[in-house]
Amino acid sequence: MYKSYYKIKEINNIYKLIKDGIFLIELGCYPGGWSKYIKKYKNKHLKIDIKNIYSKKNFIKGNFYSNKVYKKIFFFSNYNKADLIISDLCPKISKIKFQNKIIFENLLKKIISFSEFFLKKNGNLIFKSMEYNNINILKNFFSYFKKVYKKKLKFTKKSSSEIFYICKDFLYEY
């Protein structure tokens, strides 16, 4: 079993945001650990990744932030917004900490913009980031939600700066 399976399980055991009957969008689904966990629930699950996955059902291949993918999501969802967006997106990182900081800040901005399009009011977001995010960008990000929790997981290596944000009750309506 992928380590990522246990990470999403750990998050869901606490926050219980993945459940039956919801529409969920998963960003960065390859190779499929999270999807395997989500399969236990009866929900509408749309998966997105630049890499191909084995089962193409409910899957969109491409850059999550491209017009092409946006159009496909609208088509798939029939213009309905998601109850939950989960992101394990990991852009290519370098050994230079400063560069990674910029990479993850840009990712954060893209995730917010994506949420404005595809997340329901009062919907929830779970996403992976790195500890060294710019505090001002984070503050702006937090203002979109009623509550944000920061969680370092048991299954994340102690030396890693990987961190998960669990954001509840999206306040924005596009």
Ligand X SMILES: C[S@@+](CC[C@H](N)C(=O)[O-])C[C@H]1O[C@@H](n2cnc3c(N)ncnc32)[C@H](O)[C@@H]1O
Where do contacts with ligand X occur on this chain (CB under 6 A)? Answer: 2, 4, 28-34, 48-51, 63-65, 88-91
Nearer to ligand X, 134 or 156 (CB): 156
CB of 111 to ligand X, least distance (A): 10
User: Which own/partner contact pairs does 20-24 have at CB distance under 8 Å and 24+ positions apart?
Assistant: 22/82, 22/83, 22/84, 23/77, 23/80, 23/81, 23/82, 23/83, 23/84, 24/82, 24/83, 24/84, 24/85, 24/86
Kindly report the backbone phi and psi dihedral angles of residue 59, in degrees, each rounded to the nearest multiple of 5, phi listed first: -120, 135
CB of 3 to ligand X, least distance (A): 8
Nearer to ligand X, 53 or 138 (CB): 53
Nearer to ligand X, 11 or 167 (CB): 11
CB of 164 to ligand X, least distance (A): 11
